Amino acid sequence: MAHRVLVLNGPNLNMLGTREPQTYGSQTLADIEKMAIAEGKTLGLEVTCRQSNIEGELVTWIQQALGNFDAIVINPGAYSHTSIAIHDAFRAVALPVIEVHLSNIYTREAFRHHSYVSPVAMGVICGLGATGYRLALHALAEKL
Ligand code: CA2
């Protein structure tokens, strides 16, 4: 059976493609999700994509991933830098997680340099734009 991967995107990522293309690229979230599903197929992964602007909704989806998904790829958006709740949810489910950021958070403001998700992630990819999601799926295809 194909491995099931949940691709989660956090707050404001539904705005991709409309503003700040120099930071986040010109692709929309729909473009990225379409690409992730197609890339997943080539790798034998069944990819499901969800986005929320609500911290608790992301926590609930992470909890519900247990038993329903084999791994999670997440761009937690600004919750990366603030959310102990998302950190705790990943610890609770103990599924393999890859954290993705479109921008290089280390070349930006100091408040983006710390992520609560990174310590509970198998790996972290940042600064490579939408390619980061593809690379995360490749890593999971090798490691699952
Ligand atoms: O680089 C990333 O992927 C981020 O996770 C994006 C978050 C930011 O808070 C993180 O520090 C790094 C913000 C996403 C905002 O997306 C927008 C897209 C278009 C227009 C405005 C915001």
d(CA 52, ligand 1 centre) in Å? 13
1-50 confidence digits (pLDDT tens): 899 999 999 999 999 999 899 999 999 999 999 999 999 999 999 999 99
Sheet containing 45-51: give its strands across.
45-51, 3-9, 71-75, 97-101, 123-126
Q: Is 12 in the pocket of ligand 1 (CB under 6 A)?
A: yes
Domain boundaries, the chain: 3-143
Active site residues: 24, 101
CATH of 3-143, one of 3.30.360.10, 3.40.50.9100, 3.40.50.170, 3.30.70.990: 3.40.50.9100
| pLDDT per residue as tens digits for the range 130-140 | 999 999 999 99
Kindly report the average pLDDT of the chain as a whole number.
Answer: 97
pLDDT in tens, 110-128: 999 999 999 999 999 999 9
Ligand 1 lined by 24 (C-beta under 6 Å): yes
Tokens encoding 41: 């197929």
Report the predicted TM-score, pTM, of the whole model to 2 decimal places. 0.98
The per-residue pLDDT for 1 is: 81
